[in-house]
Every structure is written in C-alpha cells, then in structure tokens.
Amino acid sequence: MELVFSGFGIEIIKREGKFFVRYDSGETVSNMIEKEITEDEAIKAQKSEKDAYEVLLLRERRP
C-alpha cells in the first residue's frame, strides 16, 4: 500500500495498481470508508478541496 495523497479530508492510496480514496463517514463515531477510484479521479481529487468533494460525490453515485 502506497499513500499517494493526504489532504482535503481524504487519503488516496495505491494498492496492487488500483487507486482508493479513504475518508471519514462523518458520523459520531469515526468510521473510515474506502472506495476504489480511477487514476483520473485520483489526480483530480488532489487539485483542490472542491475537486476532492466532486470525486467523492461521483463515487457515491456509482454502484
């Protein structure tokens, strides 16, 4: 596992050639959520807080 980015309330990791975003669920008890994202989404999420938020929203809508 390689930590690619940490900021804007997210962490992007690369594991076995795939990218994953990790973020807190926002509930009372801290619960980290991890979802697979594309390389393009990983690059976008590192640009700004707004871009990171957009990537999370897009990922939540995907099955």
pLDDT at 29: 86
DSSP element (H, E) containing 21? strand 18-24
pTM of the model: 0.89
Cα gap 28→21, rounded to integer Å: 21
Cβ neighbours of 33 (radius 10 Å): 13
10-49 tens-digit pLDDT = 999 999 999 999 999 888 888 999 999 999 999 999 999 9
Residue ranges of domains in the chain = 2-61
Mean pLDDT score, 50-63: 93
- Predicted confidence (pLDDT) at residue 54 exceeds the cutoff of 80: yes
Least Cα distance to 56 among 16, 41, 6 occurs for 41
pLDDT at 7: 98
